[in-house]
Structures are given as structure tokens and as C-alpha cells.
């Protein structure tokens, strides 16, 4: 089956995808916009973002200070024009959210601003400790009444590029999409396509992300001919609740921003021994410090303690964390919380310009799936939702301005599954999924070595071969599609990590434990064999 053509097909329904969809519809009210979600519209990473959105709104703060903090956290690899564009766009982004119904905490008539690791000022706009949920809820309500066509429980299989003479491939003209309802793959033609599918943290055994963060957009863009960049920089959130039933529940960085202390099991602090900024050091430093303490002591976790603050302050500022911890028997107003690091954010991704344009014409990428150069070697707290909003608004403007110039769509070849059969060996997919995430955690985690990376590369090659054979023989399922994408992204992460012969930002290797101070800082760019002819700026 083929749907009616879309002016914009959005793959992903978080802050990035909804910002572009709503932005385009505001500028082109008659546009036909389709939004795809792998499960419910709300079940992406956005609603789990607790901390907030960084924006310079206080007279004692400045745009230059926010830029400087971001550049420092980025370890020499930030693209400064991207940093400046996003930081300068922050106040307007906050105003847009408020106009769309997002309610932020206020104090004495002004927005309440908190502080997080890496920031030199209080500049985090938040809605208690559930900012992402507030953003997701409000924008989703607007999206549902906007006229966009919404498709829940739909997995994209692959992007479609126009077939040109001599076997060449042209612009992006849509996608093949697996409908979990009828179990079939359908054609979705589109004049422009947006990847807003989030990151790839589920490639690791322990992650703070929802189950859908399987690197789908990165893998699809790579197969379609887009370059990817800086995928070795996987950010591990330092503090996820440690409990067998908690499934890595995130304990917001704002707890440390408001005075939370990291403790060894014996109750002693340790962060001052690793960085002069203590608990407010950037996430990569804090995560490595916790990893080092756990390995040196052989302990399963460390502890995060804010019980020295008044109970009313804690429950007012961190109601989500307080309630969730209480479910597992921990009262953070009286005792420290057990915490461990977990994979949290993919700093690299599909290379784009500052309007979200990729190497393939009419294909855009915004949010965690993309690499604009904002984050460099390490994302600073609360810059990620901000990037979704600012770059998303820019992408919407770019798409709105070019829709009238896009030629008529060609006929799309139907999805051919005449040669496949239904599999009775789903256990193979389950075992491969588990194996992949375990060796990525063991060999490509917070601390790496060349030997571990080579070992992981060998394992991923075997898995890739097995999965491709399985994919070519049996009818697709959601689990198989996600596993196929995870293996692709795992391979790209390992190749990127092996290419970097230094320790910088989030990439730390015991074989090259210091910065390369001889050569200027370099981004890690991987180029597919099917690299598109047009390159982004």
C-alpha cells in the first residue's frame, strides 16, 4: 500500500520532530505533514528529560558566558557557529514553548533558573524535575489538533532515494514503513523527510533511555549515503538509580546543581579529588570518577546525598525523583540514593548544517540523531532540548521556503517480500540483541582500550553477518529492524573510537590517556560507500 504523498514526513515524535512539524504547519497551513512514531507518540526520550533547557535569561548571565561554557565542555571540538546560533536562539525558543502551553517554574514573578554541571550561571529553565514531560505533553496536544497525520506503532525500514540514470541515486523521496498493526511494509512518499528519531544509547546494556533509542535514524541515514560524525562520544549520565527493578531511572543532574554530594559507600566525598569543580564538573568527568571509585573499591554503586537540604525543598524541586525513589524504598529527604552511570546521550550523529540539512537532498535531521557541532566531544547539560527547538525552527523555515520548488515525486517501487517467510526462531534475535549490548558495555563503555575495541569490532562483524542473513530470509519485525540498526550503529561507534588515538571529552582510552596536543583537534567523520554527491556546508 502507498499513502498519499506528504510535503513533510517526520520520523520521530519528540521535541525535535514536533517542533519542525508545528513550525512548518504554522508557516504553510495547507501543508500535508505525516508524523511517525515507533510506539505511542509520547514514548520517546523527550518526556524523560528531567533537568531543563539552558537559556540566558538573567541579567547577571550573558550569551558569551553560555557559549564559553559550551565550548569548554565540548573539549575543543564544538563548531562555534553552531554554538552561537543555538545559544542566541534560546530566549525565543523558551517564549515559543510558553506560547504553546508549557508551564515553567517561576519565583517572584520570574522564571526560576537552576544550575547544572558545566554551567557558570543559573540558566536552566525547568518545570520542577519533569521538564521534558511538560514539553512533550504541551507540544503533543498542539500536534494532535494541528491537522498533521499521525502514525503510531510504525517502524521505518529504510529511506527511499530517487533512482537516476546510470544507477545513481538522487534526492530522498520517502520511506518504507513497517506497520506493526498489519505486519506489512508500506510506501510513504514525501517531498521532504525529517529524521528526528533520537539517539542510540540502547546499544549499551545499561541506559537511561527508553527502549526505542536504537539508533534507527543514524543507521538509515548511513545506508542512504549520509556521513556521520563523532560517534565515539557517547555520554554516560553519572547518576541513575541503582536498583534491580528501577531499570536505570535517571536522577537529574539538578540534584547535584542544588548541592547534592557524591559519596563512597563509607560516606566520604570523592569528587574534589578528581576535579576542582567537584559535583558540578561536566558529566564525562563525573561519570569516569564514579567508574574509577567503583572499580577501585569493587562496589556496585556510589551514593548521591542531598538529605542535608530541607525536606520541603527536596520534595518541591524534585518531586519526580523523590516519588520514584520512594517506590524502591529510598527516602532522599533522609538518606542518600544509590547511583551508577548509564548510557544517556549520543553526541555524534548524522552530519547536518544549521538548518538540519543532510548530505542527501530533501533529507533533514534534527535533535539527538544529528551532529551539528554544538556538543563537540561532550554535551553540556540542558543544551540538548534547546538544540531540538532552535535547529528545529530553522529546519521548518528552510522546508517552508523550498516546498514550491521541489519537483513532482516519482513512482515508488513497492516493497518486495515475496521471497521471505515468517520466522519461528525469534530467540535468535533476542540472543543477538543481548550479546550486542553486553559486549558494547564491556568493551566500548566509559573506559576503553584498543584491545577491547578490536575485540568488539570482531564480535560486531560476526553479528552483522548473521543479522543480514536473517533479515534477508525472514519477514521483518520491530525487534529485527531495531537490532539491524543497533548493529550498524555499534560498528560505526567502534570504528570512530578506534580512529581517535587520544582521550578527549567522552572518549577515554587507557592506551592514549591524554589529549593529542601536536595536531589540531579533529572531528571523526565516517563516509559511506554510497556517499551522496551534495555535501552540507
pLDDT digits (tens, 9 = 90+) for 194-249: 999 999 999 998 888 988 999 999 999 999 999 999 999 999 988 999 987 877 78
In whole angstroms, what is the distance from residue 515 CA to residue 520 CA? 10
In whole angstroms, what is the distance from residue 332 CA to residue 476 CA? 45
In whole angstroms, what is the distance from residue 311 CA to residue 294 CA? 29
Q: What integer is the mean pLDDT of 83-99?
A: 98
Residues in Cβ contact with 138 at an 8 Å cutoff, skipping those fewer than 6 apart: 97, 100, 101, 102, 103
pLDDT given for residue 205 in this prediction = 85
Would you say residue 125 has pLDDT above 80? yes
- Measure the CA angle with vertex 287, ends 508 and 248; round to 5°: 125
Would you say residue 84 has pLDDT above 70? yes
Would you say residue 536 has pLDDT above 50? no
pLDDT given for residue 537 in this prediction = 41
Q: What integer is the mean pLDDT of 163-169?
A: 88
- 28 as an active site residue: the answer is no
In whole angstroms, what is the distance from residue 20 CA to residue 37 CA? 15
Number of alpha helices (DSSP H) and beta strands (DSSP E) in the chain: 14, 20
pLDDT given for residue 2 in this prediction = 86
In whole angstroms, what is the distance from residue 382 CA to residue 474 CA? 42
Q: Of residues 187, 283, 448, 459, which has the active-site annotation?
A: 283
In whole angstroms, what is the distance from residue 17 CA to residue 389 CA? 9
Would you say residue 288 has pLDDT above 80? yes
Pairing of strands 337-346, 370-371: unpaired
pLDDT given for residue 381 in this prediction = 84
Percent of the chain predicted with pLDDT > 90 = 78
Residue 293: helix, strand or coil by DSSP?
Answer: helix
CA 438 → CA 204, 246, 349, distances in Å?
7, 19, 22
E strands along 57-153, which residues? Answer: 106-107, 110-111, 113-114, 124-125, 149-151
Q: Scanning the structure block, which residue is given the C-alpha cell 496536544?
A: 141
Q: What integer is the mean pLDDT of 20-35?
A: 97
Q: Scanning the structure block, which residue is given the C-alpha cell 526560576?
A: 112
Check: CB of residue 114 under 8 Å from CB of residue 54.
no
Q: What integer is the mean pLDDT of 70-98?
A: 97
- Taking phi over 0 as left and psi of -120 to 50 as alpha, with beta for the rest, 345 belongs to beta
Residue pLDDT, tens place only, 369-409: 999 999 999 998 899 999 999 999 999 999 999 999 999 99
Would you say residue 481 has pLDDT above 70? yes
Q: Which three cell numbers stand for residue 246?
A: 528501577
Cα dihedral 256, 323, 317, 128 in deg (nearest 10): 110
pLDDT band at residue 472, thresholds of 50, 70 and 90?
low
Pairing of strands 349-351, 370-371: parallel
pLDDT band at residue 535, thresholds of 50, 70 and 90?
very low
| Lowest-confidence pick of 199-208, 242-251, 359-368, 528-537 | 528-537
Would you say residue 363 has pLDDT above 70? yes
Would you say residue 532 has pLDDT above 60? no
pLDDT band at residue 426, thresholds of 50, 70 and 90?
low
pLDDT given for residue 416 in this prediction = 77
pLDDT band at residue 425, thresholds of 50, 70 and 90?
low
- How much is the pTM? 0.90
Q: What integer is the mean pLDDT of 143-156?
A: 97
Residues in Cβ contact with 533 at an 8 Å cutoff, skipping those fewer than 6 apart: none
Q: What integer is the mean pLDDT of 346-368?
A: 98
Pick from 371, 361, 452, 435: nearest CA to 162:
361
pLDDT given for residue 474 in this prediction = 66
Check: CB of residue 385 under 8 Å from CB of residue 47.
no
Would you say residue 18 has pLDDT above 60? yes
pLDDT given for residue 427 in this prediction = 65
Pick from 346, 345, 257, 344: nearest CA to 304:
257
Would you say residue 432 has pLDDT above 50? yes
Amino acid at each position: 500500500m502507498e499513502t498519499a504523498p506528504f510535503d513533510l514526513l517526520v520520523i520521530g515524535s519528540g521535541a525535535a520532530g514536533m517542533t519542525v512539524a508545528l513550525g512548518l504547519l504554522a508557516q504553510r497551513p495547507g501543508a500535508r505533514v505525516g508524523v511517525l512514531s515507533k510506539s505511542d507518540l509520547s514514548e520517546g526520550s523527550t518526556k524523560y528529560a528531567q533537568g531543563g533547557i539552558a537559556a540566558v535569561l538573567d541579567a547577571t548571565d550573558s550569551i558569551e558566558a553560555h557559549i564559553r561554557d559550551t565550548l569548554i565542555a565540548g573539549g575543543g571540538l564544538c563548531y562555534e557557529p553552531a554554538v552561537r546560533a543555538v545559544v542566541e536562539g534560546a530566549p525565543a525558543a523558551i517564549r515559543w514553548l510558553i506560547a504553546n502551553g508549557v508551564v515553567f517554574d517561576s519565583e517572584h514573578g520570574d522564571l526560576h533558573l537552576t544550575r547544572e554541571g558545566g554551567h557558570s550561571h543559573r540558566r536552566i529553565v525547568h518545570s520542577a524535575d519533569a521538564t521534558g514531560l511538560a514539553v512533550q505533553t504541551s507540544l503533543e496536544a498542539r500536534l494532535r489538533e494541528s491537522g498533521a497525520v499521525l502514525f503510531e506503532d510504525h517502524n521505518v525500514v529504510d529511506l527511499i532515494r530517487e533512482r537516476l540514470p546510470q544507477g545513481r541515486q538522487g534526492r530522498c523521496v520517502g520511506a518504507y514503513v513497517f506497520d506493526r498493526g498489519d505486519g506489512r511494509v508500506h510506501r510513504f512518499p514525501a517531498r521532504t523527510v525529517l529524521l528526528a528519531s533520537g539517539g542510540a544509547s540502547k546499544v549499551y546494556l545499561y541506559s537511561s533511555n527508553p527502549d526505542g533509542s536504537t539508533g534507527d535514524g543514524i543507521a538509515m541515514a548511513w545506508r542512504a549515503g549520509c556521513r556521520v560524525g563523532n560517534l565515539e562520544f557517547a555520554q554516560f549520565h553519572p547518576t541513575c538509580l541503582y536498583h534491580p527493578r528501577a531499570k536505570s531511572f535517571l536522577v537529574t543532574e539538578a540534584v547535584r546543581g542544588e548541592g547534592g554530594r557524591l559519596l563512597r559507600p563509607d560516606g566520604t566525598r570523592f569528587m574534589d579529588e578528581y576535579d576542582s569543580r567537584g559535583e558540578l564538573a561536566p558529566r564525562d568527568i563525573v561519570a569516569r570518577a564514579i567508574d574509577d571509585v567503583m572499580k577501585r573499591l569493587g562496589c556496585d554503586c556510589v551514593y548521591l546525598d542531598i538529605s542535608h537540604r530541607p525536606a520541603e525543598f527536596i520534595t518541591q524541586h524534585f518531586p519526580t525523583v523523590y516519588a520514584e525513589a520512594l517506590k524502591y524504598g529510598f527516602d532522599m529527604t533522609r538518606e542518600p540514593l544509590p547511583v551508577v552511570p548509564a548510557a544517556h546521550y549520543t553526541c555524534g550523529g548524522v552530519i547536518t548544517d544549521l538548518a538540519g540539512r543532510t548530505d542527501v537532498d530533501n533529507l533533514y535531521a534534527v535533535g539527538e540523531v544529528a551532529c551539528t557541532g554544538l556538543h563537540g566531544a561532550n554535551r553540556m547539560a540542558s543544551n540538548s532540548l534547546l538544540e531540538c527547538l532552535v535547529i528545529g525552527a530553522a529546519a521548518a523555515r528552510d522546508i517552508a521556503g523550498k516546498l514550491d520548488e521541489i519537483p513532482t515525486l516519482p513512482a515508488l517501487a513497492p516493497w518486495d517480500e515475496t521471497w521471505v517467510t515468517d520466522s519461528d526462531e525469534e530467540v535468535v534475535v533476542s540472543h543477538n540483541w543481548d550479546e550486542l549490548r553486553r559486549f558494547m558495555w564491556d568493551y566500548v563503555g566509559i573506559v576503553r582500550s584498543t584491545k577491547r575495541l578490536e575485540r568488539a569490532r570482531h564480535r560486531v562483524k560476526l553479528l552483522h553477518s548473521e543479522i543480514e542473513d536473517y533479515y534477508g530470509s525472514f519477514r521483518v519485525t520491530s525487534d529485527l529492524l531495531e537490532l539491524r540498526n543497533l548493529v550498524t550503529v555499534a560498528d560505526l561507534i567502534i570504528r570512530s573510537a578506534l580512529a581517535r588515538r587520544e582521550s578527549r571529552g567522552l572518549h577515554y582510552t587507557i592506551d592514549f590517556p591524554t589529549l593529542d596536543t601536536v595536531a589540531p583537534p579533529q572531528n571523526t567523520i565516517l563516509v559511506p560507500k554510497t556517499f551522496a554527491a551534495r555535501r552540507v556546508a
